[in-house]
Amino acid sequence: MSTWAPSASISTRITLSDIVQTTHSPDPAYETPVLQLISESRSKGYDSVCLPLTTDAWKKRWTDMCIVPETAGDEKRKRESRRESRMFVSRDTTADKKAEKWRENPCFELDEVTITRLGLWYTLLRTAIEGLTEASSSDEAQNVTAIISEWLELDTEDDWIRCDAEIALQQELAYASYLNIQTAILPPPRNREYVSSYARIINACLRKIPYMNLAVRLPVYDPHAIQDPARPSTSVPGTPRSGIFPGGLKLVNPAKSLEAQIDAAWEVWDLIRTICEYNTRLSLALDLGPPLPPSLSVLSKWSAESVRYIFLPASTFIANAKGYPVLPKPTQTFIRDSMAHRPNIVLANVSSSLHSRGGEDAYSQYIKHLETTSPIVQSTKTAGTVENFAQGYQDFLQAPLQPLMDNLHSITYETFEQDPVKYRNYEEAIYAALMNLPQGTRIVICVAGAGRGPLVARSLKAIDRSKRNAFIYAVEKNPNAYVTLQNRLRSEWQRKVELLFGDMRQVNIPEKADILVSELLGSFGDNELSPECLDGAIRFLKPGGISIPSSYTAHLAPLSSSKLYNEARSVKDLKSLETPYVVMFQAVSILSGDGGGASGKCGLKIQECWEFEHPRRDGVLNEQGLPPTNTHNTRSAKLSFHIPHAGVLHGLAGYFEAVLYGNIGLSIHPLRKDSISKDMLSWFPLFFPLREPLYLPSNSELHVSIWRLTNQRQVWYEWHAESFLSIQGTSFELSTSLSTPSLGSTPRANSILTMSPSPAAPSPLIDAIEIPLERRAHKEDAEPSRMMNGLLKIGHTGLHNADGRSSWIGL
């Protein structure tokens, strides 16, 4: 399980000019310049290297074969393929013939690739022959990530250039695969109009090349779109801000706000990932070169995506007061939060002395500092936290328990009895209830569903503390746990407790109770049939008696997670996408925001579905004191969520909150759990998956219907969602808010550059002082439009778990 501990690996990016330089001054200890560079990187402490796979010679040959040479003075003619051009111009076909021969049998010449047989491959061979251990030279090949030719235009408008770029891409990937390279970084998508072509090509490559991982390079947004062209883009003149990437997304409109641009970049990724059918070998290499917005909510969606690489060119770093490289605060926060996903952080240009202090080591040291100070890393290392307790369970789908239908095993009770918070709160609730009952009179407590006895033990403690005269009946239907109870009765509890064996819906109790204590709650509150069980047990209670818990509520939020979607559908049975799971969320993002939405009618980020109260205030009962039907335990909810940023819905997150007694409760509601039952371990949230992801644009509304249904034998949930856009008012403010240039606020990038050094910052790890900016984004958050003229339906899911076909809880 320790392999799950959050941490990053750090890579360095080797460039073609690095290789050329090494060629000019080779170290005879190495067989090739590449081997030398890799070895040097390792000795500098990098875990791995990123390396361009091809040389300029390849670029030249490909271009000569496939593209019409640009003639001087002919600037109006667009760059075009020889094929397109051939339709109209009669000319020498030597290049065409060469190209067609290449298309028939694509093959590199020796000087067109950086890694050759004499390099890594030869070393691998030697390793095998000479029996060197894996840790030695063969490791070098394993730790190389190949960067595919950046100039390949997989999404250009020209059909024929795209076609030839696809052949070249397949050729490069086949060669990388031959070299046993595990991951290749792909050229970034550049043209929104043809992203579907880019994605189709990547998908074809994933299908053709069976084992290799492919990572799509993607700038978090196009930095050029918000830069003031009159000013230099970084603190070091002449270095392009985007650092690693020669091109950026060309789709973005300069008038768009930063957040809309980030949404647009994500939208490109979403399209690629969708077209590649959420292939688990496809991941993201997110370029954090451009400065991030101070409000990180727009970035939270990346945590639901497979971000395997984070590119950080030296130019992203700013200098702190001492001149050491540090990251701008939002980037820091993003990196710290990303540690949960164990990214490979790729540093580039770090040997070029962009910052005055610390040298090359300062960059990786700073990353390691971010790792150490990451909240997720810290809580994972702290005993008693859920993160520490549940290592290895992140994003792991578990079928919810059915303790009514199945008899739990001792080990399951053991696990849940470890929760200090839950039982502490139960004890406090019982204590408070006892204190509200008169001293001196005999008080009867009934523990309904005693299990191995933790609530009996806590009740006894509460009785003791409250100095009340109380007796306990403990009801349990699990014959195996009942043996443990008998043992504890004899050894610990003696005459203070009477055990009753049987289902609480059937057994009889010798006298009515003042307090009925139960722990029948599931992750969604009622999903382990607490309402139905307590319907059966509430007859034990005197009129006006107390139930602990006295009520509980189920809560829901829309959730995005490529990982959970893939996990749920990895089970071949399609029904797995209609079954709720218990999951410790990690690679997820909650899509909803607060603020009413475009219609002004949306609820909170996380919304309550329904409530159960015990005892029921009223109801028809039969002679046995039981309800004739279970129809009163049906529930339904229709919830409206505001979706501030574009995202893709993969399911719903379910939580519960319970009132035990008075103001003592239990909660796994993400925003309230820490104030109600911090560090409680017993419940992970519930995940209601969707069969098909639902795309949600920025500023849309999601209307979720969920039903708790029942028949004579079962209880089950069904769920469904519809998406809407406001068709009037200012729901589309994202595109309009920045369309007038007169809205004067300093672009973020420039503000970072004009900061003044702070004399009070002595450590290389202390942050630079930043001027807050992007106030507009903040203002929009604070004052959402309330105007509402109507909603336009834009999409829906199917009905899930119709008629309980895939999952139900047995009564």
Choose the binding region for a copy of itself from 296-304, 433-441, 771-779, 792-800 (rule: CB under 8 A).
792-800
Round to whole Å and give the CA distance between 34 and 40.
10
Q: Does 796 bind a copy of itself (CB under 8 A)?
A: yes
CB of 399 to a copy of itself, least distance (A): 23
Q: Does 619 bind a copy of itself (CB under 8 A)?
A: yes
Choose the binding region for a copy of itself from 432-440, 471-479, 545-553, 621-629 (rule: CB under 8 A).
621-629
Contacts of a copy of itself in 84-143 (CB under 8 A): 86-87, 90, 93, 96-97, 99-101, 103-104
| Residue choice 436, 634, 754, 758 for contact with a copy of itself (CB under 8 A) | 634
Angle in degrees, 0-180, between the axes of helices 479-488 and 410-417, rounded to the nearest 10: 60
**Closer residue to a copy of itself (CB): 38 or 538:** 538
CB of 725 to a copy of itself, least distance (A): 7
Residue pair 82/96 in contact by the 8 Å Cβ criterion? yes
Residues shown for the chain: 811
Round to whole Å and give the CA distance between 182 and 214.
9
Q: Does 788 bind a copy of itself (CB under 8 A)?
A: no
**Per-residue interface string for the shown chain with a copy of itself, residues 134-173, x marking contact by CB under 8 A:** -------------------------x--xx---x------
Q: Radius of gyration over alpha carbons of the chain, in Å?
A: 31
| Residue choice 136, 142, 802, 810 for contact with a copy of itself (CB under 8 A) | 802
**Closer residue to a copy of itself (CB): 575 or 796:** 796
Q: Which residues contact 335 (CB under 8 A, 6 or more apart)?
A: 8, 288, 310, 327, 345, 367, 370, 374
**Closer residue to a copy of itself (CB): 164 or 360:** 164
Choose the binding region for a copy of itself from 57-65, 136-144, 280-288, 632-640 (rule: CB under 8 A).
632-640
**Closer residue to a copy of itself (CB): 453 or 627:** 627
Choose the binding region for a copy of itself from 418-426, 493-501, 556-564, 697-705 (rule: CB under 8 A).
697-705
Strand, helix or coil for residue 466: helix
Q: Which residues contact 198 (CB under 8 A, 6 or more apart)?
A: 154, 155, 189, 191, 272
Q: Which residues contact 500 (CB under 8 A, 6 or more apart)?
A: 473, 474, 475, 476, 507, 509
Contacts of a copy of itself in 635-674 (CB under 8 A): 635-636, 638, 646
Contacts of a copy of itself in 225-284 (CB under 8 A): 253, 267, 271, 274-277
| Residue choice 46, 194, 221, 655 for contact with a copy of itself (CB under 8 A) | 194
Contacts of a copy of itself in 712-771 (CB under 8 A): 718, 720, 722-723, 725, 727-728, 732, 734-736, 739
Q: Which of 528, 532, 657, 774 is labelled catalytic?
A: 528
> Following DSSP, what letter does each residue of 214-278 receive, concatenated?
EEEEEESS-GGGTS-TTS-SSSSTTS-TTTT-S---S---TTS-HHHHHHHHHHHHHHHHHHTTT
Number of residues engaging a copy of itself in binding (CB under 8 A): 78
Query: Which structure tokens are listed for 351?
Result: 């040997």
CA proximity to 120, closest of 45, 182, 198, 205: 182
CA proximity to 402, closest of 456, 473, 478: 478
Q: Does 208 bind a copy of itself (CB under 8 A)?
A: yes
What Cα–Cα distance (Å) separates residue 141 from each residue in 58, 483, 611? 22, 59, 58
Q: Does 617 bind a copy of itself (CB under 8 A)?
A: yes
Q: Which residues contact 691 (CB under 8 A, 6 or more apart)?
A: 574, 577, 578, 797, 798, 800
Contacts of a copy of itself in 55-84 (CB under 8 A): 83
Q: Which of 267, 519, 657, 722 is labelled catalytic?
A: 519
Whether 519 sits among the annotated catalytic residues: the reply is yes
**Closer residue to a copy of itself (CB): 750 or 797:** 797
| Residue choice 631, 675, 746, 754 for contact with a copy of itself (CB under 8 A) | 631
Choose the binding region for a copy of itself from 114-122, 238-246, 478-486, 800-808 (rule: CB under 8 A).
800-808
Round to whole Å and give the CA distance between 101 and 95.
10
CB of 156 to a copy of itself, least distance (A): 12
Q: Which residues contact 387 (CB under 8 A, 6 or more apart)?
A: 376, 379, 380
CB of 780 to a copy of itself, least distance (A): 15
Round to whole Å and give the CA distance between 413 and 405.
16
CB of 531 to a copy of itself, least distance (A): 15
**Closer residue to a copy of itself (CB): 358 or 593:** 593
Round to whole Å and give the CA distance between 136 and 501.
64
Strand, helix or coil for residue 300: helix
| DSSP structural state of residue 347 | E
**Closer residue to a copy of itself (CB): 624 or 634:** 634
Round to whole Å and give the CA distance between 435 and 468.
8
Contacts of a copy of itself in 16-55 (CB under 8 A): none
CB of 755 to a copy of itself, least distance (A): 34
CB of 577 to a copy of itself, least distance (A): 12
CB of 162 to a copy of itself, least distance (A): 8
Provide the H-helix boundaries in 51-93. Answer: 56-66, 82-86
Contacts of a copy of itself in 468-487 (CB under 8 A): none
Q: Does 200 bind a copy of itself (CB under 8 A)?
A: yes
How far the first Cα of the chain sits from its last, in Å, is 36
Q: Does 792 bind a copy of itself (CB under 8 A)?
A: yes
| Residue choice 353, 486, 629, 675 for contact with a copy of itself (CB under 8 A) | 629
**Closer residue to a copy of itself (CB): 603 or 795:** 795
CB of 588 to a copy of itself, least distance (A): 22
Q: Does 390 bind a copy of itself (CB under 8 A)?
A: no
Round to whole Å and give the CA distance between 539 and 626.
8
Q: Does 698 bind a copy of itself (CB under 8 A)?
A: yes
Cis peptide leading into 549, omega within 30 of 0?
Answer: yes
**Closer residue to a copy of itself (CB): 53 or 734:** 734
CB of 271 to a copy of itself, least distance (A): 6
Contacts of a copy of itself in 569-598 (CB under 8 A): none
The owner of tokens 């060669």 is 175
Round to whole Å and give the CA distance between 263 and 225.
14
Could you count the other beta carbons within 10 Å of the beta carbon of residue 627? 18
The owner of tokens 């049906």 is 634
Query: Which structure tokens are listed for 422?
Result: 């839950």
Strand, helix or coil for residue 467: coil
CB of 161 to a copy of itself, least distance (A): 12
| Residue choice 33, 454, 596, 627 for contact with a copy of itself (CB under 8 A) | 627
Whether 701 sits among the annotated catalytic residues: the reply is no
CB of 628 to a copy of itself, least distance (A): 5
CB of 794 to a copy of itself, least distance (A): 5
Cis peptide leading into 69, omega within 30 of 0?
Answer: no
What Cα–Cα distance (Å) separates residue 447 from each residue in 165, 477, 539, 548, 657? 71, 12, 13, 9, 20
| Residue choice 620, 623, 759, 760 for contact with a copy of itself (CB under 8 A) | 620
**Closer residue to a copy of itself (CB): 115 or 646:** 646
The owner of tokens 């104030």 is 675
**Closer residue to a copy of itself (CB): 347 or 649:** 649
Contacts of a copy of itself in 278-317 (CB under 8 A): none
Q: Which residues are tagged catalytic?
A: 519, 528
